[in-house]
Structures are given as structure tokens and as C-alpha cells.
Amino acid sequence: MLPTEVLMKDHRVIERLCRVLNAAAARLDTGDDADPQVFERSLRFIREFADSYHHGREEDLLFPALEAHGVPREGGPTGVMVLDHNQGRASVQAMAQALQRWATGDASARAEVARHARAYSQLLLEHIPKEDNILYPIADSVLEPEEQQALLKKFQAVETQRIGDRYQEYVKLVEELEAQVGPALRAPRSR
């Protein structure tokens, strides 16, 4: 398995979480009952899995390896990816702050939670194809097989350090969230 294949496996789980956030935000938009726990649990997933674990491996390991092969950061693809990651972090922080206000009774914060959840989801759903279809093929072409194997070992060390053996717990968390907002995920929207 290539390091990029490991990262793309993560992407599939992150995309599912983005669909959960979009469905939960749609419920807030229509005034339907929406459980704030969906957003709180999503924030946990984003912070621990998507950001610390997934983006951390990219920023700390993959991007420097690419840059060592002449792939530029400034004005280049790794720099754009880091900008996206930082923009996502800002949306997550804003969503967390709005969620806290909602928890203290500020009903207007519901709309902000929805807006920031959608912003994060839209960003990631546009970001992931850039990595899958542009950046990762570059990585696959410039990294030598021995570098790829060394990178996989480093990925494993990061996994052990940041999430331990809890990968499947994060997948289960997303499955639970999908079940909670399920009808909105499964039903095709009619126009």
C-alpha cells in the first residue's frame, strides 16, 4: 500500500462526516429539531481524526517529503493545501464557539453553527479531490519506493501516537452520526 492510498482511505471517512454535517445543518436551516450532540461529536472527529491525525501526517510528513523533491510550498500545491487546512481550522473554531453560545440558550447561534458546518464541509469536499487527483499523483511519481516505505512507517508512528488503535472507533462514530441524521443522508432531494 502506498502512503497516498492510506490518506485516501481517510478521505472516504472524512467525506462521510462532511455529508453528516451538511444534513445536520440543513435541519437547522429548516427549523427542524437538530441535536447539538451531532455537531459536538462531529467536532471531536474533526479535531482528532481529520485534523490532528490526517492533516498532521500530511503537513508533518508528506508535504516536507514532496518539498524535498522540489515540489514548491510557496505558490505550490502543498502551500495551497496548508491554506485549506488552516481555513478549515478557522471554520471549526467558529462552529465550536457558536455551538457554545447555542448551548447557553442563544437561539441565533443555531444559524451560525449551520453556516460554519456547511463552510467546513464545502471546503473539505472541494479540498479532497485536489489532493486525490493532483497532489497524491505527484507524490506517487516523485517519491522512490524506499521513501514510500519509510513514509508508511512514519505514518504508523503518528497513528500510534495520535489515535492509537482507535481508527475503527472513528469510523463507528461517523456511522452513528449517519444513523442519527440518516433520513436526510439517504433521501434524494427533489426539485
The predicted-structure confidence for 145-158, as pLDDT tens digits, reads as follows 999 999 999 999 99
Contact 56, 158 (CB under 8 A): yes
Distance CA 168, CA 157 (A): 17
Mean pLDDT throughout 67-80?
A: 94
Using pLDDT thresholds of 50, 70 and 90, give the confidence band for residue 190.
very low
Could you write out the DSSP letters of every residue in 75-103? TSHHHHHHHHHHHHHHHHHHHHHHHHHHH
Length of the chain: 191
**Using CA atoms, how far apart are residues 42 and 134, in angstroms rounded to an integer?**
27
Q: What is the pLDDT of residue 191?
A: 34
**What pLDDT is attached to residue 73?**
92
Does domain 3-186 correspond to CATH entry 1.10.357.10?
no
Which phi-psi region, left, alpha or beta, contains residue 164 (left: φ > 0; alpha: ψ -120 to 50)?
Answer: left
Residue 67 pLDDT more than 70?
Answer: yes
Q: Domain ranges for the chain, please list them.
A: 3-186
